[in-house]
Amino acid sequence: MANFDQLSAAQIAAGVRAGDFSATEVARASLDAVDSREPQVQAFLEVSSDLALEAAERTDQARARGEELGPLAGVPCAFKDNMHLVGTHTTCASRMLENYESTFTATCVRRMLDAGATPIGKANMDEFAFGSSTESSAFHRTNNPWDTTRVPGGSSGGSAAAVASGEVTVSLGSDTGGSIRQPASLCGVVGMKPTYGAVSRYGVVAFGSSLDQVGPFGRRVEDVALAMNALVSPGRDPLDSTSQDCPVDFLEHLDDPIAGKRVGVVPQLMEVQGLTDEVRDAVNGAARALEGQGAQVVEVELPNIASAISAYYVIAPCEAFSNLARFDGVRYGYQEQGCATLAEQTSLSRAHGFGEEAKRRQMLGAYLLSSGVYDTYYYPAQQVRTLITQDYERAYEKCDVILMPAAPRTAFKFGELSDPTQMYASDMFTISNNIVGNGGVSVPLGLGRDSGLPVSAQLQGPAFRDRMLLQFARAIERAYDASGIVAPDFAGKGGDLA
Amino acid sequence: MRSLQEVLQDWEAVIGLEVHTELTTLETKMFCNCKLSHDDEPNTNVCPVCLGMPGALPVPNKKAIQSIVMAGLATNCQIQKHSMFYRKHYFYPDMAKNFQTTQGPVAFCMYGHLDLEVSGEGASERPDGVETGTDTVAAHDVAAPVTVRKAEDGSYTVPIRILRIHMEEDAAKMVHVGGEEGRIADATESLIDYNRCGTPLIELVTEPDLRTPEEARLFMEKLQQTFRTLGISDCSLESGSMRCDGNVSLRRRGTHELGTKTELKNINSFKSLHDGLEYEIRRQAEVLEEGGIIYQETRHWEPSRKRTVVMRVKETADDYRLFPDPDLAPFDLSDEFIDDCRARIPELPDAKRDRYVASFGLKRADAAQIAGDPVTAGFFEEAADGADGRVVPTIANVMVNLVPAFDALTPAQVRSISTLLAGDAITFAQAREVLEAVNGTQDDPERVVDERGMRQVTDTGALEPIVDEVLGRCQDQVQQYHDGNKKVVGYLVGQCMKASKGKGNPKLFNQLLRQKLEA
C-alpha cells in the first residue's frame, strides 16, 4: 500500500471510515516517517507518540462502535509549540517555559482533535514567535526540507517543515506578522492566516493579541479547507471575547471557477527593494494563470502600505511586552535561584530565561509604552492602522482578492540575516494583513527559476471572505499542478501504510 | 499639636477619597467563571485566567458591568457608553499577569456627586460661610466652588463631586511571614492566595471637595448605604470588601494653591477614617507652622497608637505603561442596557428617608438612620405594615434605640412592643426587659407583659390615691417644689412608682403630681 504522505487529509479520513486502514495504522505511519525524516528536518520539539496512538485508538474504537467519524478522522497533525495540549509541554521554544506542562488544551487544538485529527507532536518555532527563520528557538534549528542548509522560515517554521517533509498531513501555526504565510512560502506548502477573530486564540500563548491568528498548513488547498472547517464550524469560542462566528463551509465552492472575478495587483509592491526577480516573475506568472482561467486582473493602490512595517514594529512589541510580563519565574517557568530579593529574582529570571530577540522586543515595547514616548509612537501607529485599513477597503471596491508575493525571496541560509531589521523585512508582504486583520493565504508556484527553491504567491482578501481566498488558491493550485508535493529528499522515507 | 477645630480656623483641609469596593454579591470573578469567595481554602477558586497562565484570555463579567452602571446612576454620574479596558503594568506577584486590567481615561461612570447633610457635633469641625470645592473639572453638572452656609442648629448641606467610578480587577492576597510588620522586606516567606485575584472591583474617586474628617466619614457612610441598598456589595470596611484611601493637604484659609498631599492608608473603620484624617491634618499643620515641608508620601494609620507613620515616599510617578487591552473589545453600552440598570435601582436612602418623614411623621434623624441600611429599612417597613399610624414613629424609635441590642427579633414583635409603648402600657426599661425575653423566639411581647403582670395602670382613678398618699408623707419635697425646685417631681414620681410596685405609668404620675402641686 502507498506511503501515507501521498494521501490527502480527505483520503485518509475516507480510508479510515471505509476501513481501508485504521487510524492507528496511519498514526504509526506518521510516527515512522517522523523517525526517519526528523534527524534531517528537526521540525518537532516534542513527539507525542502516546497521545497520538491513544487518539487513533479512540477513533478506531468509535468506528468499531459504528459511530460517525469526524472529517479529519485519523489525519496526522502537528501543533506549533505555543498551543496548549494537555499531555505535552508548551515551551514556545523558550528556556523560560522549558518544563512547562500544558494545564488545559487550546480551543484550536481541541477542535482539530474533536474533528478526529491525530496529534503527532509539537512543532518548533522562533522563541515566543519572534522571528522569521525559526533560528531564535532556544532548543534547536529546523531545516528546510527542500534544502537542509536553509531556514524553513518562521516563526511557524516547524509546522511548515513537518508538512513539507511529509511527516504529518496538516499542522497548525500562528501568524502575527506573516508567521504562517512566510514559512509556508519558504517550504512550498499552503499556509492560511484566517481573518482575525475567525479562529479562537484561547490556549495559544499570546504574542501580539490584536494581531495573532491561528491557521492551518497543508500540502493541498483542500486539506487547508478541511482544517479550516474543523477550526470554525463549532462557532465562536465563548472563551475568546475577540472571536466571531464564521459560519461557512470551506469545501463548498472550493472548486468553483473564478471566471469573471477580479484579481487586484499592486504595481508599487512589485517594485519594492529586496524583492527578487524570480519571485516577482513567478507572481506575475500567477496573475496570468488566473487570467487564463477567466479572472480579470486589475491594478489597485495601497498608498500607505509602506508604513505597515513601522506601525507593526510599534504595536507588536508593545503587546508582546505586556503579554510576556507574566513570565517572572514566580509561579512557573524558569526561576533564577539564590536571589536575595523578589526584584532580583524577577529581573534575573527574565534576563536568563528569555533569548536575545525576545528581550529585544520586550525592551522595545517597554520603551514605546513608557509615559512621554507612548503618545509619540503608539497613537500614530494606531492611526496608520486605520489608514491602511481604509486603503484596503478602497482597493476591495475594485477587486475581490489581491495577489502579491508571500515572501520577498526564497529560503535563505542559516545565519545569513544577522541584522534584525533585515529579518523583519522578510515579512514586508504579510504584515499589512495582520495590521488590518484580514485573511491571507500563501500558495506554492513551483520552484524559483534562479534558486530552485519553492516560491509562493500570497492572496489577500477582505475580512471574513476567507472561503473565497481558498477558491482562488485552488485555482492557482490547479494551474501549477502543485497539489500534494512532498519535498523530494523526504518523500516516501518511512511512513508506508502497512 | 493643636486641636482640629483650632487648626481648621487657620487652615483649610483639602480632602479627596479613593474608594475601592469589591462586588461581593456577584457569583463569579471579573474575567473568568471562578467562584467569588475569599473564605475557601487558599488557591481553590482559581483557573488559568485568574492565575495568568500563558494562553488564557479574559471574558468580561456582564453582571459586573451592570453593577457599576447602577453604582454610577445612584451617585448621579454620567454613564459613558463608550469606554474600554486598559492594562496597567507593574511587576508584583499579587497580580498574576503582572498587569492589572482596569479602565483608562474614560471610565464607565464620570462626573457624579453625593449631597452630604452634616449635623450634630461633627458639623462644628467646619467653620461657617467658607467656600468649598476645587474646580478641577468643568464637565461636572454641579458647580464648584460653593459657599456653605450653616443653619441655626449648625447643620449644613454640601455637594461632594465624584470624578469617576471605574471597573477593575482585584489583586491576590499576600501574607509575608517573618518580616517586620508583615512587610515583604526581610520576610522569610511570602504566601499568595489567588482566590481574591480577579475579583470585580469598582474604584470611586472623589474630587477634592471634602473639608473635614467628619465630611469624609459621612461620605463613606453614605456611599456604603448607597451601595448596600443597590445590593452590589456587602461593603465591609472591616473585612476589606470596601477600602478607602484618603488624600489630604492643607492650605492657608483664603488661599487657593493646593498644598502637598499625603495619602492615608490602613483605614478599616469609619472611626479610623475620621481619626486618621484628623491626626494627619493636625500633624501637617504643626509641620507647616514650624516652617517644615510636607512630603508627598503614603502614610499608614496606626489606630492603637493614634498616629500615622510613613509607608513609602513617592519620589517619581510610577510608570504603569497603560495601554488599551487588545484582548477585550471596547464597550458600546446600549440605551436598553443602561435603562435596564436604571430599572434595577431600588429606592435609595435619601428618597426613603424623605418618604418616611412625609408619610410616617418620623423624626428626620431616625428616618435617615433606618433608611440608610436596606436590611433595617426592610425590617422597619414590615413592622410598620399593619400598625396603627400613631404607633409607627414609636416603631422607628424602637428600631433606633432598642432593636440594635438584639439579634433575633421579628418585625411582629417590634410592632407589638411599640404598640404597648405608644399606649403607655409599659416603660422603655420594661420594653427592653420584654425584648430580652422574646429575642430568638416567636413569642408575642404582649403575652410576656401580661404574664409578668407588667402592664401599667393608666387609669387615673386608680393612681390618684397613691399620689395623695405620697404627697401626704413627703412634705419636705412638697415644700422644696413650692420653693422653686421643680426637679423634685422626679423623686416624687419614683416614690409613686415604688408605692404602685412599678405598675403605675410614670408619665401619668408626673402629670397628676404637677396638677396637685400647682393646685
Helices (H), A399-489: 420-424, 431-436, 466-480
Average pLDDT, rounded, for chain A: 97
Question: All domains of chain A, ordered by start, with CATH?
Answer: 4-258 (3.90.1300.10), 309-380 (no CATH)
Mean pLDDT of B382-392: 92
Which of A103, A122, A212, A327 best tests the B interface by mutation, with the highest count of B CBs <10 A?
Answer: A103
Residues B366 and B400 sit within 8 Å (Cβ to Cβ): yes
Q: Would you call A326 and B190 a contact, using CB atoms and an 8 Å cutoff?
A: no
Q: What value of ipTM does the predicted structure carry? A: 0.95
Contact between A322 and B323 using a beta-carbon 8 Å cutoff = yes
pLDDT at residue number B180: 64
List, in sequence order, every residue forming a beta bridge with A118; answer none if it has no partner.
Answer: A76
Q: Give the Cα separation of A282 and A446 in Å (integer).
A: 9
Interface of B with A in 248-307 (CB under 8 A): none
Residue B324 lies in a domain: yes
Q: Percentage of chain A with pLDDT > 70?
A: 100
Average pLDDT over residues A278-284: 97
Q: How confident is the model at residue A45 (pLDDT cuts 50, 70, 90)?
A: very high
Coil, strand, or helix at residue A321?
helix
Beta strand pairing call for A262-265 and A296-299: parallel
Same domain membership, residue B264 and residue B283: yes
Contact assessment for residue B167 and residue B68, using Cβ atoms and an 8 Å cutoff? yes
Residue B314's pLDDT is what? 64
- Residues near B278 by beta carbon (within 8 Å), at least 6 away in sequence: B4, B213
Q: Structural domain tally of chain B?
A: 3
For the purposes of burial, counting CB atoms within 10 Å of the CB of A479, is it exposed (0-12), middle (13-18) or buried (19 or more)? middle
**What pLDDT, on the 0 to 100 scale, is given for residue B449?**
86
Put simply, the answer to whether B326 touches A209 (Cβ < 8 Å) is yes
Looking at the complex, does the CB of residue B211 fall below 8 Å from at least one CB of chain A?
Answer: no
The residue to which cell 413569642 is assigned: B443
* Residue A413 bridge partners (DSSP): A150
Whether residue B504 is predicted with pLDDT greater than 90 in this model: the reply is no
| d(C-alpha B504, C-alpha B170), whole Å | 61
Per-residue H/E/C for B126-175: CCCCCEECCCCCCCCCCCCCEECCCCCCCCEEEEEEEEEEEEEECCCEEE
> What amino acid is encoded at B480 in this protein?
Q
CA angle (B126, B130, B131) in 5-degree steps: 115
Q: Give the residue from B225, B227, B263 showing the smallest Cα distance to B71.
A: B227
Question: For position B135, what pLDDT does the model report?
Answer: 66
Residue-range definition of the domain harbouring residue B504: 460-518
Which of the listed residues B286, B301, B336 is the one where a domain comes to its end?
B336
The pLDDT of residue A261 is above 80: yes
Asked if A238's CB is within 8 angstroms of B59's CB, the reply is: yes
Tens-place pLDDT, residues A378-405: 999 999 999 999 999 999 999 999 999 9
Inter-chain touch B96–A326, beta carbons under 8 Å: yes
Alpha-carbon distance of B451 to A149, in angstroms, equals: 104
End residue of a domain, out of B269, B304, B336: B336
Q: How far is B44 from chain A (nearest CA, A)?
A: 15
| Catalytic-residue membership of A243 | no
Per-residue pLDDT reduced to its tens digit, A220-254: 999 999 999 999 999 999 999 999 999 899 999 99
A100 has a chain B CB within 8 A of its CB: yes
Q: Is residue B61 part of a domain?
A: yes
Across the interface, whether the CB atoms of A209 and B87 are under 8 A apart is answered no
> Could you confirm whether A8 is annotated as catalytic?
no
Which residue of A lies nearest to B324 if distances are taken between CA atoms?
A319
Lowest mean pLDDT among A78-92, B186-200, B261-275, B444-458: B444-458
Q: Note if A398 is an active site residue.
A: no
Return the pLDDT at B144: 80
| CATH code, B497 | 1.10.10.410
Cα torsion angle, B417, B423, B426, B428, sign: positive
Grid coordinates representing B472 are: 401626704
Nearest to B55 among A203, A325, A342 (CB): A203
Candidates A326, A366, A371; nearest CB to B52: A326
**B-chain residues near A100 (CB < 8 A):** 54
Model confidence at B425, pLDDT cuts 50, 70, 90, reads confident
User: Which residues of chain A neighbour B89 with C-beta distances below 8 Å?
Assistant: 322, 325, 369
Are both B440 and B469 inside the same structural domain? no
Q: CB distance from B323 to chain A under 8 Å? A: yes
Predicted TM-score (pTM) of this structure: 0.90
Residue keyed to cell 510608570: B319
In the predicted structure, residue B200 carries a pLDDT above the cut 80: yes
Predicted local confidence at residue A64, as pLDDT: 97
User: What are the tens digits of pLDDT across the range A302-339?
Assistant: 999 999 999 999 999 999 999 999 999 999 999 999 99
User: Does B71 fall in a domain?
Assistant: yes
Same domain for B208 and B241: yes
The pLDDT value given to residue B140: 87
φ/ψ bin of B143: left (φ > 0), alpha (ψ from -120 to 50), beta (otherwise): beta
Residue A363 contacts B where some CB pair is shorter than 8 Å: no
Minimal CA–CA distance to A175: which of A134, A237, A129?
Answer: A129
Which residues in B lie closer than 8 A to residue A342 (C-beta atoms)? 92-93, 184, 190
- pLDDT tens-place string over residues A145-172: 999 999 999 999 999 999 999 999 999 9
Give the tens place of pLDDT for each residue, B306-324.
999 988 766 566 799 999 9
Q: Could you tell me if residue B344 is inside a domain?
A: no
Is residue B431, in this structure, part of any structural domain at all? yes
- pLDDT 10s digits, A335-374: 999 998 889 999 999 999 999 999 999 999 999 999 999 9
pLDDT at B3: 93
B379 and B316 both lie in a single domain: no
Q: What's the length of chain B?
A: 519
Search chain A and give the residue with CA nearest B86.
A322
For residue B101, being part of any structural domain is answered with yes
Q: What radius of gyration do chain B's Cα atoms show?
A: 29
Same domain, B442 and B484: no
CB contact under 8 A, B91 and A369: no
pLDDT at B114: 96
What is the predicted pLDDT for the residue at B316? 62
Check CB contact of A92 with chain B, cutoff 8 Å: yes
At B351, give phi and psi (nearest 5°).
-65, -40
